[in-house]
């Protein structure tokens, strides 16, 4: 890791875990993956898949004149909520917000980086599904002399010798140990399968590696198999059905996100075997909270993409305004959640904009950004 890395401590409740980014939360939320251009924008989109939105709410942390370029990797729910959080942060800070969507196309992502630089943004905030996209944005921003914030990338930029404004991340590396600790305490000696997302996702690779490491260290359970549902609930359910019919000995099913977990639980019910398996997941979404209330999801790790997107934008604006030391690392909170906490807003931070809760968290845990409120 480079010298000069600055860690901003996160001091939420004792129930929360802290860290060093995310997974998509399932299928497309909209049929058309282009961000819609809103009426009244000050700048029209110059290419397919782009939108420009000028913030309307000046605040105590007025950042008028600062333009943030935001790159989303696709139309999935996780990505949409992250973008909503980023836009909200720009509104709070009084900065202009220009967003583009790469639709999981590497060439489009490169085009989007170039487009935002040509549009004169002061900082690019990028959520990419792969490390190459993060590195390309960092290098091009450095060449252009503008800021760059990378988030949801599992600290990937620490492996590359290029300065950026900041990395914003969840502690994906700790999640494997959290899951294994829960399984040891709740279902000791019972083996599990894990339904991951995609093979090329840095987040999925990180979670899988940490799960394997924690399992080996524990020595009290085995991972019977790992499959890839590709964030497609139907495919994830098909993989589990195949595992159930395979004769493998397991009773616990881990899932990379809660949309896929919901489909898996429904499939187990359709197969009349739901009572034989225990499901855990990741996300802390509304879907997961409801599954917990229904008694079908037993454990999850909550992380809010909306809050993470907001923090990433605040980091970018702060870096531009105050010429902060480069290569900051900013940790966003995660929390272990069991069914008895499904209604606890301190355990499950809202994915969608929650003015009261988000403002309180940012003021308490990210004091440098309190000026924006």
> Pseudo-torsion of CA 335, 131, 326, 68, nearest 10°?
-80
Quote the CA–CA distance of 329 and 156 in Å, as a whole number.
Answer: 11
Cα–Cα distance list, 111 to 46, 106, 165, 213 (Å): 11, 9, 21, 38
Same fold, 6-169+305-332+348-372 and 173-302: yes
The predicted pLDDT at position 15 comes to 38
**Residue 70: how many other CB atoms lie within 10 Å:** 31
CA dihedral 7, 8, 14, 18 (to 10 degrees): -50
Would you kindly state where each structural domain of the chain is located, as residue ranges? Answer: 6-169+305-332+348-372, 173-302
Tell me how far apart the alpha carbons of residues 209 and 215 are, in angstroms, rounded to a whole number: 10
* pLDDT tens digit sequence for 210-265: 999 999 999 999 999 999 999 999 999 999 999 999 999 999 999 999 999 999 99
Is 3.40.50.920 the CATH classification of the domain at 6-169+305-332+348-372? no
The predicted-structure confidence for 166-178, as pLDDT tens digits, reads as follows 999 999 999 999 9
Q: pLDDT tens across 88-144, in order? A: 999 999 999 999 999 989 999 999 999 999 999 999 999 998 889 999 999 999 999
Q: Find the DSSP H helices in 247-353.
A: 258-270, 286-294, 305-322
The pTM for the full model equals: 0.77
Q: Which stretches does DSSP call E strand in the chain?
A: 6-8, 16-17, 50-54, 67-72, 96-101, 123-126, 147-151, 166-169, 192-196, 223-228, 252-255, 278-283, 299-302, 328-331, 334-337
**Is CATH 3.30.70.660 what the domain over 173-302 is classified as, yes or no?**
no
Both structure tokens of 223: 């991972």
Which backbone phi and psi does 25 adopt, to 5 degrees?
A: -110, 45
Is 80 exceeded by the pLDDT of residue 5?
no
Q: Are strands 16-17 and 334-337 parallel, antiparallel or unpaired?
A: antiparallel
């Amino acid at each position: 890791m480079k010298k000069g890395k600055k860690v901003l401590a996160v001091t939420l409740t004792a129930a929360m875990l802290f860290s060093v980014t995310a997974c998509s939360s399932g299928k497309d939320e909209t049929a058309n993956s282009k961000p819609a251009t809103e009426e009244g924008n000050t700048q029209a989109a110059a290419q397919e898949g782009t939108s420009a939105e000028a913030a309307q709410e000046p605040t105590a942390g007025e950042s008028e004149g600062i333009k943030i370029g935001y790159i989303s990797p696709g139309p999935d729910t996780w990505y949409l909520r992250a973008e909503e959080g980023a836009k909200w942060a720009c509104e709070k800070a009084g900065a202009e917000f220009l967003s583009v969507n790469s639709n999981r196309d590497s060439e489009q992502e490169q085009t989007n980086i170039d487009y935002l630089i040509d549009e004169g943004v002061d900082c690019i905030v990028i959520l990419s599904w792969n490390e190459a996209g993060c590195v390309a944005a960092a290098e091009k921003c450095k060449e252009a002399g503008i800021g760059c914030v990378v988030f949801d990338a599992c600290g990937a930029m620490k492996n590359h010798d290029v300065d950026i404004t900041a990395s914003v991340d969840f502690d994906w590396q700790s999640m494997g140990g959290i899951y294994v600790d829960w399984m040891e305490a709740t279902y000791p000696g019972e083996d599990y399968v894990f339904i991951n997302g995609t093979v090329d996702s840095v987040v999925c690779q990180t979670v899988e590696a940490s799960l394997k490491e924690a399992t080996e260290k524990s020595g009290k359970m085995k991972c019977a198999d790992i499959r890839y549902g590709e964030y497609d609930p139907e495919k994830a359910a098909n993989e589990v059905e195949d595992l159930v019919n395979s004769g493998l000995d397991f009773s616990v099913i881990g899932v990379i996100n809660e949309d896929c977990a919901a489909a898996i639980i429904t499939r187990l019910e359709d197969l009349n075997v739901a009572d034989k398996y225990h499901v855990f997941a990741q996300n802390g979404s509304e879907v997961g909270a409801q599954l917990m209330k229904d008694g079908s999801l037993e454990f999850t790790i909550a992380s809010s993409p909306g809050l993470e997107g907001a923090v990433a934008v605040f980091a970018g604006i702060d870096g531009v305004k105050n010429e902060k030391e480069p290569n900051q690392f900013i940790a966003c909170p995660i929390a272990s959640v069991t069914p008895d906490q499904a209604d606890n807003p301190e355990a499950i931070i809202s994915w969608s904009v929650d003015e009261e809760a988000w403002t309180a968290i940012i003021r308490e845990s990210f004091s440098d950004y309190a000026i924006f409120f």
